Chain A
Amino acid sequence: MTQPDEYQMGLSSRKAIYIPFPQAVPCSYILDMEHCLGNNPIACGKCQDVCEKQAINYDDADEVITREVGAIIVAIGLDVYDPTEMDEYGYTRYDNVITSMEFERLICAGGPTAGHFVRPGDSQRPKRIGFVQCVGSRNPKIGRPWCSNICCMNTVKDTLLLADHYPDVENVVYYQDIRAFGKSFEDMFQRSKEAGTRYVRGLPGDVEENPTNGNLLVTVENTTSGKLERHELDMLVLSVGVEPPKDLAKISGLLTLSKTSDGFLMESHPKLKPVDAPTRGVYFAGFCESPKDIKDSVCQAGAAASRAGALLNAGKITIEAITSQIDAESCTKCGVCARVCPYGAIQWKKGEVAVVIEAACAGCGACGAACQFGSITMRHFTDAQLVAQVRAIMAEKPKEKVMVFACNWCSYAGGDMAGISRIQYPATNRVMRTMCSARVSEDMVLEAFRVGAPIVLVSGCHYADCHYINANRQTVQRVQRLWNKLEKAGVRPERLQLEWISAAEGQKFAQVMKQMEELRQTVTDEEIAHAMEALKPKPKKKPKPKAEPAAAAAP
C-alpha cells in the first residue's frame, strides 16, 4: 500500500504506516487508517505481525481530553496558496511548472531526490529556471489583495541556493516589486544579483510548453524597458502566496475572535495591543494574525507568551462591573432572560425567580433589553442611563441628527477605525455605545423616535464575529418586531436601519453614515411629528422611566 507523501509535496510516496519525516516529533510510526488494509486484519495485518512490541492497535479511537486553562495562544499558522485556479502559468498542465513549496522538497537533501535538483518531467537537471512572484498575492482580482510578505525573500534565497549548488545555472525572477525590507535582506538581494540572477520587472502574460522537450516559453512585458520579451526556460517556479488557514473560522467561532478584511485574525489594537485578541486571555502568535516570516513569528510568539505569562502569574482577573443584576421583587419569573442569554449565565426554573451567575455573565445586556418588566439592571449600562443619553443627544434640533447605536466590539470599533484611517463622512450622526447591539431595547429605539430622531440605526457585529457568541440574533429579532410596530403606528419603517459593521470596516462605517445622512434628508417634519405622537407609551399601572409597550411579547 503506497500513498503520495504529503511531507514531500506528493513528489514521492509513503506506506500506510509511516513516520511523517525523519525529524518528526514524536518520532513514531502512525497509521493512515483511511488507506490501511489492516483495518480488516484478514486483508493485511502485516505490520502487527512484525511489531515485536505489539504497539499496533487498529482499533485505537480518537479521545476527547478536557483541560481547564487560564490563557490561550492561537498559533494556527497558514495555508499555502494552491495555484490550480490561476492556471495561466500552466501549473496543472505542464510538468516542469512547480510551486515554491515543491522547490523546497526538490532542493532538500532529505527530499525525494536526495537534494539533486531535477525536473519532475524528465528527471533532468534544469539550467534555466524562472521564478514568478506574487502568485496568489497582491491580486485583488482573485480576492487576494494582500502581500504575503515572505515570497520575495524566499525566492532570493532559492536563487542563491541554486547558484551555490550549480554555478552554471541561469535564474530569472519575474516580479512586481521586490520587498527586501528586513535586516540583511537587501544584502541577500544584492548577492543574488551578483550571482547572476536576472530580475525582470513584470509578470508573465503567457506560458507555453514545448511538448517535445518539456521546456517552457514565457512571454513577459518588461515594464522597465517597455519591451515584450520571450524566454525559453527549463523550469518555472511559482512563488505562491499564503492565506489564512481553513481552520481559522472554527477557532475564531470557538473563541469569539474577529477577522480583518483579508481573513487573518484581528488584534485588539493594531499598534498598542498587537498580540492580544479582543477576547481577554487569548493571544496570537505567528502567521494566523498576518503574513510574517520565521523571525517575526518567533518574536510574536515570545510576546504572546509574555502576555499570557503575565496573566497566569497574576493568578486572577477582574471582571468589568458591567454584569446583569436581577431584581427578585419585580421579576415575574417568565424566564425570557434565561432563554436569550448566550452564556447560560442565568439560572431559571419555571415558577422561580431568575438568578444571574455573575462569573459567567459577560455583560452583553441581551437579557436587560429582553426583560419587559424592568427587572434587570445592566450595571454601568442601565436603561435609565442609556435613555438619558438618547434624550440628551436629541435635546436640540433632533431633526438634523441620525441616532446610531453601536456595539463596543465591532461597530463602535469600526467607527474608531474610520477615524484612525481618516475616512470622512457627514457629521450628522450621533453614536451611542452599548456593549452589544442586543442591549438596545425596543424602548430605546422608540424613545429616540419619540424625541424626534428622523433616523435610528442599530449596528452590531457580523454574525460570524458577534463578541457575545450569538447575542446579535436577538438584535435581528427585535428590529424585525420594531419594523412591524412602526408600520402599525403609521411610521415609515425604513426610518429604522440595521447594519453589521466589523471592527476592521472603517470604510463600511463611513459608507453607512453617508447612506444614513441621505436617508435622513428624505424624512419630513410631518413624519417626525407623527412618530413623536404615535409612539407615545400607553399609560401603564406604574409609570416608570422605562415604559414598555405591552404588545411585544417575546416568543
Chain B
Amino acid sequence: MATTQILIAGFGGQGVLFTGKCIAYKGLDEGKQLSWLPSYGPEMRGGTANCSVIISDTPVGSPIVSTPDVLTAMNLPSLDKYEDATVKGGKIFVDSTLIDRKVKRTDVDAYYIPATKLANDAGFPNLANMIMMGKMIKEAKMVSMDGMKEALSHVISAKRAEMLEINLKAIEIGYNYEG
C-alpha cells in the first residue's frame, strides 16, 4: 500500500497549484485515493505558494503534507523552508535555474532540473512547472505517464486545446531530462 506525499512550492504565479492539480487528476484517472490542498490567502498574490498532494492506494488521512516524500522547490525560500521536513529517503526536485545552491541533506535523493531555462529554450517560458512535474513523475512514479493527455484535458479547457499539447510537451521534456 503505497502513499506518496508531495509538496510543491514556489512563487505565486509559477503554476504550483496547477501542477498539483494535474498530478491529482492523473491520480483520479488511475483510480487512486488522493487529496489536493493549496495554501491560500494574500500569499497567493505573488508571495510564496505551496500545494500538498497525496496520492495513495488507501484512503487519505490528513491532507496536509508536513513531511513530504517528494518535495519540488521552484524557488530558494521553498527549498530553505521544506528541505529539512522531507522524509529520510525522500526525493527533492530543484529548479536549478532559479536555485543556485545544492540540497544539503545527504539522506535524500536530489534532482536538479534547469526547468526555467528548459522552458525558455522550448519557447514556453511559463511552463517550468510542467517540466518539473515530468521529472517528478519519472523518478517518484506516484502516477504514470500513460494517459497524461486525458488527465490534462480535465484541467485545460477544450477551448484552449493548443495549450494542452504544449503542456504535454513540457511534461515530456521533464520526463526525458537526464542530468
- Does B associate with A? no
A residues within 8 Å of B by Cβ?
A: none
Binding site for A on B (CB under 8 A): none
